[in-house]
Structure 1
Amino acid sequence: MFIFLLINLFCIINVSGQLCSADYRMNLTGLDVFSDGSIIKNGIRFPPNEIFSLNVSGDFETFGCPCELRNCFRKCCPLGQVMVNRSCVEMYDVLQKELRLHYYDNHIASVDLKNSDQFAVLTGVPCDWDVYKEDDGPWYVQLVSH
């Protein structure tokens, strides 16, 4: 009985705890849970150990930590939109031409943000600092390990 209680307590603590901060989580609420406990969103398979639930305004919502599984790419506006005068506007070219990323080691790559298995794209998250891109120059990416 004691072992069962201990296991049950551990599961509740693990599920209720935050595995990543609000800036680095993806909402998985309402998605299908597979028999192994995983959930798939935007081509990313979240194993059970990267899924947690939180009480948000009285409702339990399910979240995953994509940055634990892939390199994260933060984009203030949703895919297909760009920031213009502090608001998101549709930009067809962003999805059609892919995003050309220039790495600091002079490597250049085009990334299909909708189907990337290299990056987890966090979208729709408002940037809470003044970030902007001057002119239409290249986008640089620096991979940082954590």
Structure 2
Amino acid sequence: MKGKYEFLLLLTLGLVQSQPCHHSVSVDISDGDIKWNGEISKDGVLYSSSNYYRKDNTIFGCPCNLKKCVRKCCAVDEIMENKTCTKSELNVFIPIHEVDNFLYNLDMKNGTHKTSDLFYIHNLCTRRIRLEPGDVFYLQPNGSLLVPDFELDAPLKPHEYCLDVFKDDTMDNMFSALICVEETTEEKLAETTRNIYSTGVSLDDLAKIDVSHKCIIIPACMDFAEF
């Protein structure tokens, strides 16, 4: 019967016209349980045909279309050390807030995230900007990331950020966030840049602006700001 279901799955995939979610928040469900109607079940999530897609002979599901997600940069037993995901004995706690009010911690090492309403995924941004010490951010119960200092129109979604503990010359086992430039701001960059120049702001005026937080939205400092 499984062969029959796999044939049905191939037929279903052939009918899917577009990728239903960002690849950065997709999970491999190729070895999931294929149902008679083309649905695939894996890790407690049931994916309908509108919530998975095929890429390079692998079937990817879109859990964040079905559940609230939290995205860690590295695996559960890793932290980011000198820009590389590295095995660590450190216990990573991810704090959850309601706006800026602390609610509870997700304990990644001891598995309390498995009983949370949030679906855990891990995937590192290709191009990214790191929030530095002093930058304020709050992970919300719905999996979005609130970054007040950036004055964004809306909180960031899981495909637009990842969270982890960082260890390098600037941070010593410090919890922070990466803003995923390729996912987050490509669309916003053009709009924000148009807004900046439509107001008649000169290059001399821009030079006087504190760009410590504005590098995320001003293309001129993207190379400088990337982590």
**Does the pair score TM above 0.5?**
yes
- The equivalent of 1:13 in structure 2 is 15
Deviations 1:23-42 (A, max 9, x none): 22112123332445433334
Is the counterpart of residue 107 in structure 1 residue 112 in structure 2? no
Structure 1 stretches of 4+ with a deviation exceeding 6 A read none
Is the counterpart of residue 80 in structure 1 residue 81 in structure 2? no
- The equivalent of 2:125 in structure 1 is 126
- Structure ranking higher on relative contact order (CA contacts 8 Å, 6+ apart): 1
Counterpart CA distance in 2 for 1:92 and 1:138 is: 26
**The structure with more radius of gyration:** 2
Helix, strand or coil for the counterpart of 2:95? strand
Cα drift, residue 85 of structure 1: 1.0
Residue 24 of structure 2 contacts residue 123 of structure 2 at CA under 8 Å; is this kept in 1?
A: no
Residue 81 of structure 1 contacts residue 94 of structure 1 at CA under 8 Å; is this kept in 2?
A: no
Q: Unaligned 5+ residue runs, structure 2? A: 1-10, 145-154, 158-227
Assess, with a 3 A threshold, how the Cα gap between structure 1 residues 11 and 27 changes in structure 2: closer, same or farther: closer
Structure with greater proportional helix content:
2
Q: How many residues align?
A: 130
Of all paired residues, the percent bearing the same amino acid is 22
Cα drift, residue 77 of structure 1: 0.7
- The equivalent of 1:65 in structure 2 is 62
Residue 100 of structure 1 contacts residue 138 of structure 1 at CA under 8 Å; is this kept in 2?
A: no
- The equivalent of 2:138 in structure 1 is 140
TM-score by length of 1: 0.66
- The equivalent of 1:4 in structure 2 is none
CA RMSD of aligned residues (A): 3.3
Q: Unaligned 5+ residue runs, structure 1? A: 1-8
